[in-house]
Amino acid sequence: MGEQYLRDELSRIEAAGNLRHLVPAAHDGCEIIIDGRRMLNLSSNDYLGLGADKMLRKEFLAQLNPENLYMSSSSSRLLSGEFPVYGQVETMLSRMFGKEAALVFNSGYHMNLGILPALAIGNTLIIADKLVHASIIDGIRLSGAEYCRFRHNDFSLLENILERSHRRFDRIIIVVESVYSMDGDTADLQLICRLKARYGNVLIYVDEAHAFGVFGENGLGLAEAQGCLQQTDIICGTFGKALASVGGFTVCSNAVRDILVNRMRPFIFSTALPPVNWMWTAFMLGRMSGLKPLREHLASISLQLCNKLKNKGFKMVSESQIIPLVVGDSQAAVKLASALRDRGFYALPVRPPTVPNGTSRIRFSLTANMSGEHIAALSEAIDELA
């Protein structure tokens, strides 16, 4: 039989319109070049356009020399890999968020895979929004804790679960994202914090992956924008999106940090990212407070596209720079994406299992180096095709 079962599975995936391929690409500002075709890149998470900023890269590279340019940590942090720059980044983060401590990770996936298994000690219940990221779901499953998932953003149901459960468990961890990556909608973190205050054994875990750098006066995310940084126990984020770097982080209490250092398997058993990566992250974090004009422009063009799609009759739940156009059928989504590429717009179809069956979509991911003219041209193309 050999690998025939794998080929059969690939054929099944292809027949459903869900087969994926890796596509080599070159990048130039907000444009992407594939097979010689230059298109507006509407599938990037470089939300502030910083990854495309050549002047920033030149300024950073001027600071490097053979003495400080370490291309590998060559170890986990708990062995010999604890370079000073890791602690410098963590100190920057804890001060920015006004938290006791911070810890950085190799990736957002590592972060979400490892935190909940480390924290779910003893009689713990995890309550998670139905649409949290796959990495969080994997972390929940690995935790071995009892868990339940509530309908997306249904906080009445969340309250009912808390009321039924809070006496049976030593602690409850509520897990949500601040901005959801497939619909672009947001969580009501203030309401969740009020629920926490009502029950004494609740911790709040918020993944700000798509909000960090984009929301809040200082770009710290939705918890900052909604005024609940201090009430939120565990705030997580990634550097690989708006901050144009790599890795993940959490800001938290000293006790949470120490438990993660001692119990979090992806942290303990992974070679740390190269110090040069964290030098770049520190360089970018130092510029966060000055990026407000980029955040404001991104919000403006996002509203422009949302309003256009609403006027065309599409249901819009997005409150962010992530704007989905739900088509329904996977084949129809692939066909629309292809037609958009023919008109110079690189917007990929998102299909099951990433989204539920029957909700395949084109996911427009806007970046601050796009202009109002770019959005107007995209809107005109959608008028013709959708």
List pLDDT tens digits, range 196-225: 999 989 999 999 999 999 999 999 999 999
Mean pLDDT of 1-13: 90
Q: Which residue has the tokens 């917007």?
A: 347
Instruction: With a cut of 80, say whether residue 386 has pLDDT above it.
Output: no
- H/E stretch holding 150 reads strand 146-150
Mean pLDDT for the chain overall: 95
- Amino acid 113: pLDDT: 98
Q: State pTM to two decimals.
A: 0.94
CATH number of 11-52+291-385: 3.90.1150.10
Contact 240, 247 (CB under 8 A): yes
Instruction: With a cut of 70, say whether residue 64 has pLDDT above it.
Output: yes
β pairing state of 37-41 and 31-34: antiparallel
Residue 264 binned pLDDT confidence (cut-offs 50, 70, 90): very high
CA 214 to CA 216: how far, in whole Å? 7
Q: Which of 243, 240, 238, 241 is nearest to 218 (CA)?
A: 243
Kindly give the interhelix angle for 330-342 and 372-385, rounded to the nearest 10 degrees. 130
Residue 356 binned pLDDT confidence (cut-offs 50, 70, 90): confident
* Residue boundaries of the structural domains of the chain: 11-52+291-385, 84-286
Mean pLDDT of 346-351: 92
* Ranges 10-19, 70-79, 165-174, 178-187: which has the least confidence: 10-19
Instruction: With a cut of 80, say whether residue 17 has pLDDT above it.
Output: no
Q: Domain 84-286 classified CATH 3.40.50.880?
A: no
- Amino acid 276: pLDDT: 97
Mean pLDDT of 170-188: 97
Contact 241, 213 (CB under 8 A): yes
Mean pLDDT of 82-111: 98
Kindly give the interhelix angle for 54-61 and 275-285, rounded to the nearest 10 degrees. 120
- Amino acid 1: pLDDT: 61
